[in-house]
Amino acid sequence: MTARYTVALIGAGGYAGQVLHALLVHHPCISPRIVHAREPDDEALTVCAACDVVALATPSEAARGWTDALLRRGHRVLDLSDAHRLDPRAHYGLPELQGPPTPNTPLVANPGCYPTATLLVLRPLLDARLIEPEGIAVLGASGASGAGKGLRDDLHFCELHDNSFPYKVGEHRHTPEIEHVLGASVSFVTQLLPVVRGMLVTAFVRPRREPAQLLDGLRAAYEAHPWVTVLAEPGPGLGLRHVVGTHQALLAVGPRERSGLVPVFSTIDNLMRGAASQALHNLNLWLGLPPELGLPPPLLEPPTGLPGMSRMLP
């Protein structure tokens, strides 16, 4: 197949931008064009004008400036930052839950990594009234690449290696996004893991039905969505190495605890499903291409045992 579309990529030096660029380079129908400008100057906007979509993999403040300048000129913008995820102009780009953006949509907001993992496992359960909307508690654990390339003391190798700790407790920037799309309040706590990439979310919910019915509800919700796999039970099949380098999300439902709560689980690659491959999934749908183009193939079978020691990354 010959490339028919060009995507201008701004912010290709960041972690998510690097992975998105790598995916676009191998895409059969989309050709990337890197824009190196830090601000929307005339030269950069001229480059963008020759492209079908502009993808922003920049920090939020920069994304706001670029988006305003680009939308004024009639360009379509895919924003990987959190600048527009609550913007009523934007289509929230979580395909399994929100569907595809229409061709005339001006702005697609790519969801955050933690919201993606959390919403995939909780939204169907709430929509089907299988769990209570009150009292939801979420614990998320992520590799350090989710914090981006900015310099921070707690991201130094000597601080994070052989270590794990909570961060931004009570003030995490993803909490409003999760609550807005979920339609319910959550208690949300995150912690850093001494790994580069991969994310595991554990949510404790108050069930309205038995855990087996929650599991059936998730299976029904994702029966037609090959990049979401619902496991028979939690365990090693949720291991990070099963998803790193893939677009796959792995979900599971645990047994009812003595407290009456039920744990539900979600595992993704924060740089792929939580950022770059989800952006590509949205681009395919937005441009009217088959959704699987350029994406790693979905898992054929649910993983059950311990993941392998290594895998090829995009």
Q: Give the residue numbers annotated as catalytic, written as ranges.
A: 113
Contact status, residue 216 vs residue 142, Cβ threshold 8 Å: no
In sequence order, what are the beta bridge partners of 108? 78, 91
C-alpha to C-alpha distance for 81 and 61, rounded to whole angstroms: 9
Cα(139)–Cα(156) distance, integer angstroms: 23
Q: At how many degrees (to 10) do helices 42-49 and 60-72 cross?
A: 70
Task: Show the 3-state SS of the chain.
Answer: CCCCEEEEEECCCCHHHHHHHHHHHCCCCEEEEEECCCCCCHHHHHHHHCCCEEEECCCHHHHHHHHHHHHHCCCCEEECCCCCCCCCCCEECCHHHHCCCCCCCCEEECCCHHHHHHHHHHHHHHHCCCECCCCEEEEEEECHHHHCCCCCHHHCHHHHCCCCEEECCCCCCCHHHHHHHHCCCEEEEEEECCCCCCEEEEEEECECCCHHHHHHHHHHHCCCCCCEEECCCCCHHHCHHHCCCCCCEEEEECCCCCCCCEEEEEEECCCCCCCHHHHHHHHHHHCCCCCCCCCCCCCCCCCCCCCCCCCCCC
